[in-house]
Amino acid sequence: MAKESDFIQSALYKNSLNVTNRNTNVLYYDCTNYYFEIERESGLKQYGVSKEHRPNPIVQMGLFMDSDGIPLAFNINKGNTNEQLTLKPLEKKILSDFDMSKFIVCTDAGLASNANRKFNTKGQRAFITTQSIKKLKKNLKEWALDPNGWYLSDSDNIYNLSSLSEMLESFKNDTDKVKLKSKVFIRNVGLMIMDLNKNLLLLLVSNIEIIKEQSVIHKLIELKRK
């Protein structure tokens, strides 16, 4: 069964299309690992960074899910494998075996290597990932925190983020204030989110037109906030 895993996964996906519509506009990728109560390494069971901080050999699993959280494809790797190196091989299988070519890959910052980002700027693919503003280089940090030139995901009006406080004060209705604070502001390849506590989160994205076209920004933001 392990030898036929790739075929089984692609066949399962294709057969599922006869039962329901699969929402594959956005694919989520992440890795986890499983430990074994043994001390000696063998095969896939290798010492690595355990998610549960266990001092045991582990195996690693990478998993793609569709927009509805339904598993799409997975791979099993040695426990000492760099997680960043696992995305491209599995995504290539999705491109070749699942007959899919247009989607947005959403990952956390730990999986968003430069190689993975570049890979998902090709063709009709795009990516969204989190980015710590504190860890950015000086010029990029200045770009991220520049209040000028932002617009809403559902509008082309240009906003200056420093004027939002004045806009909030002009609202008499608390509901309108909450709506504004939860808005998603976009500029070039960045999404800036201001939550109710005025914390800022920067999401780096590519192919913004694909992302806007598929109307997935708000769903992604809600999932990132959870």
Q: Compute how many other C-beta atoms are within 10 angstroms of the C-beta atom of residue 125.
A: 20
Q: How far is CA 221 from CA 183, 185, 215, 224, in A?
A: 10, 11, 12, 5
Lowest mean pLDDT among 4-18, 42-56, 89-103, 197-211: 197-211
Please give the model's pTM, rounded to 2 decimal places: 0.76
What pLDDT is stored for residue 150 in this prediction? 79
The pLDDT tens digits of the residues spanning 68-126 come to 999 999 999 999 999 999 999 999 999 999 989 999 899 988 998 989 988 998 888 88
Question: Can you give the three-state secondary structure of 44-88, one letter per residue?
Answer: CEECCCCCCCCCCCEEEEEEEECCCCCEEEEEEEECCCCHHHHHH
**Who has greater pLDDT, 183 or 111?**
111
Is residue 174 scored above 90 in pLDDT?
A: no
pLDDT band at 201 (very low <50, low <70, confident <90, very high): low
pLDDT band at 144 (very low <50, low <70, confident <90, very high): confident
Is residue 219 scored above 60 in pLDDT?
A: no
- The one-letter code for the residue type at 98 is F
**How wide is the angle at C-alpha 205 spanned by C-alphas 22 and 84, nearest 5°?**
80
The pLDDT tens digits of the residues spanning 154-172 come to 677 888 877 877 777 787 7
What is the Cα Rg of the chain in Å? Answer: 20
Lowest mean pLDDT among 14-18, 34-38, 128-132, 188-192: 188-192
What pLDDT is stored for residue 169 in this prediction? 78
d(C-alpha 78, C-alpha 226), whole Å: 30
d(C-alpha 223, C-alpha 208), whole Å: 19
What pLDDT is stored for residue 188 in this prediction? 58
Lowest mean pLDDT among 53-57, 113-117, 138-142: 138-142
Helix axes 87-97, 5-16, angle to 10 degrees: 50
